[in-house]
Amino acid sequence: MPRPRRRLASTCIGTVTAGLLATGAALAAPEEEAADIAVGAYLDYGPRGVARIPFLSRWLGGKEIRVGHTYLPGDQWAGIEGKVDFLQDWAEWRQERDDRLFVLNVPMQERNEARVPDYQVARLIRAGADGEYDGHFKKLAERLVALGVPDTVIVLGWEMNGVTYTHRCGPDPENWKVYWRRVVNTMRSVPGQEFKFDFTPNRGTDAIGWTKCYPGDDVVDIVGMDSYDQAPGRTFDDQISQPYGLQQHVDFAKAHGKEISYPEWGLFRNGDNPEYVRRMLKWIEQQKPLYHTITDYCPHGVWQCKQNPESARVFRDALTPQKPGPVIPTPVIPTPVIPTPVVPTPVVPTPVVPTPQIPTPEIPTPVVTPPPVVTPSPLVPSPEVPSPEVPSPDVPTPSVPSPEAPDPDPVVPSPSPLVPSPEAPLPVEPSPLVPAPEVSPVVPEVPASPSPSPLVPKPDPVVPSPEPSPVVPKPEPSPPPKPTPAPVNSIEWCVPLNFGEWLSTLVGKQAVCIKIDWGMDSGFWPF
């Protein structure tokens, strides 16, 4: 790329970094959004360039300048080896903050701007590929490590696709790539180095398509591009879409997994062109390079060059941090505290339900009187005295159950309280040894003059029993109950039930009766 003046004894290459994170509508974006993109400018190669950085920052409203950019002189090998005093000034500036970058353009040949013809360039390229110049680059690496800037970004053999510099690639691309690899490997062999190597062509085809000079991913860390407002491309859109233009640069770096940079950019052939500055800043914001620096001297610059006022205004407005306005506190409206009324919970007493006392009924234990044991008296024979025959009354005597021994007295059966027995009981021979038991008082009364049923035969007279022993009293029979007269043309049979003497005492005399009705309405009356 043509240069308007010589710098640093024939190598004054102006490169200014205008740190831009804003583009178009984002020109006034806050500084925090661009914190990941390092911004700088080329202000001068030596101590004056270092001294001007704070003033540029002040002109930009306090914008931090994070990139210090300079060039080594390419007129002699001594300059390429770093035997210059100004490297010390840049090293001190870099060491002041950890987030700063020191970018150093390094020529690959002496007499770098002497317009050396292509055939001589080809011979120099082959010499470099053979390793004749390795010692110069080893000394440079040792110098940078000794100065405390081992992480310097080395822009080696910049704009190699053009026609300006002796280190151009066009005369022998293949050996040029071999030469680049030798330089990188030599500098990386120095202990303590952390260099990053930036492969930076001109935008566009120029003398040769720059991809034909690419030396390989293993010896390239950053793919950069120098892009000024000049042909090829009449508009900024042309600069984006042209062969080897801005878009191809971004795509190529992405395909190779590399970061991008813009070490040089600025105005040139089209004069004060604020539209170019605005579009370039927007492009930088969108692509987010590792760093960018604007070349700030005439005709390229915007701060030190006063012939581009409109472009300077756009540049300054885009990079000046937006000062936050006064913080207006949001009024705090207290929320009224409405006390919640305390409603007492009514205490409802739990009714005490008394447990009902259910008295346990007393079940009387029946007192069973055992039957008296009668000791029989010795049988004394008495003289047989004939007694006159006394007829027995018509009232039947109730049957009294006897124990295992027969009753000494004859027992006269009596009819049931309900139905008289149809047959008369036979006399029982008295036992001379066992006395008759006492008659239970539960025996129902027998009516004095019962009316026997016409169908029941009259009992035969009972044979009188011999007189009991004077020791055992004979029970007097109770009068039998009055029998219920049986209906006409009916008959009823009753059979007494014998439960034994002890149980009969409790339940009384019981009988089972069967009644047969032969009345006229029964259906069995034949008359």
- Listed as ranges, residues in the chain with pLDDT below 70 are 1-35, 324-326, 341, 346, 348-349, 351-356, 358-493, 497-499, 502, 504, 507-509, 514-527
Q: Would you say residue 346 lies in a domain?
A: no
Predicted local distance difference test score (pLDDT) of residue 513 = 72
Check if the beta carbon of residue 179 is closer than 8 Å to that of residue 134: no
First-to-final CA distance of the chain = 166
Between the alpha carbon of residue 209 and those of residues 107, 199, 203, 231, 249, the distances in Å are 20, 14, 10, 15, 11
Please give the tally of structural domains in the chain. Answer: 2
Q: What is the pLDDT of residue 368?
A: 57
Residue 246 included in any domain: yes
Quote the pTM value.
0.59
Burial class (CB in 10 A: 0-12, 13-18, 19+), 142: middle
Residue 434: its pLDDT value, please? 40
In sequence order, the 6+-apart residues with CB closer than 8 A to the CB of 28 are 22, 317, 318, 322
Q: Domain for residue 437, yes or no?
A: no
CA-wise closest residue to 80 among 57, 58, 49, 112: 112
Contact between 33 and 194 under an 8 Å Cβ cutoff? The reply is no
Strand, coil or helix: what is 39? strand
* pLDDT tens by residue, 63-97: 999 999 999 999 999 999 999 999 999 999 999 99
Q: Residue 371: what pLDDT?
A: 57
Strand, helix or coil for residue 451: coil
Going by the DSSP 8-state scheme, the letter that residue 462 receives in this structure is P
Asked if the structure places residue 247 within a domain, the reply is yes
Residue 221's closest CA among 95, 92, 103, 72?
A: 103
Residue 514 lies in a domain: yes
User: Which of residues 273, 304, 319 is at a domain's end?
Assistant: 319
Q: How far apart are CA 436 and CA 473, in angstroms?
A: 8
**Is there a domain that residue 259 lies in?**
yes
- Residue 330 pLDDT: 78
Query: Residue 338 corresponds to which tokens in the numbers above?
Result: 């409405």
What residue ranges in 125-225 does DSSP mark as E strands?
153-156, 196-199, 222-224
Q: Among residues 292, 228, 300, which one has the least CA distance to residue 5?
A: 300
Tens of pLDDT, residues 470-516 = 444 444 445 555 555 545 555 666 777 666 776 767 766 677 776 66
Which residues are within 8 A (CB) of 519 and not within 5 positions of it... i.e. 6 or more apart?
487, 488, 489, 490, 525
CATH assignment of the domain containing 251: 3.20.20.80
Q: End of a domain among 285, 319, 353?
A: 319
DSSP character for 320?
A: S
Token pair recorded at residue 418: 């309900």
Give 265's strand partners: 227
Host domain of residue 515: 490-522
Residue 475 lies in a domain: no
Question: Is 359 within a domain?
Answer: no
Pull the structure tokens for residue 44.
Answer: 């001068």
Q: HEC states along 353-377?
A: CCCCCCCCCCCCCCCCCCCCCCCCC
Final residue before a domain boundary, out of 291, 319, 347: 319
In this predicted model, what pLDDT tens digit does every residue of 338-352 receive, in sequence order? 777 677 776 766 766
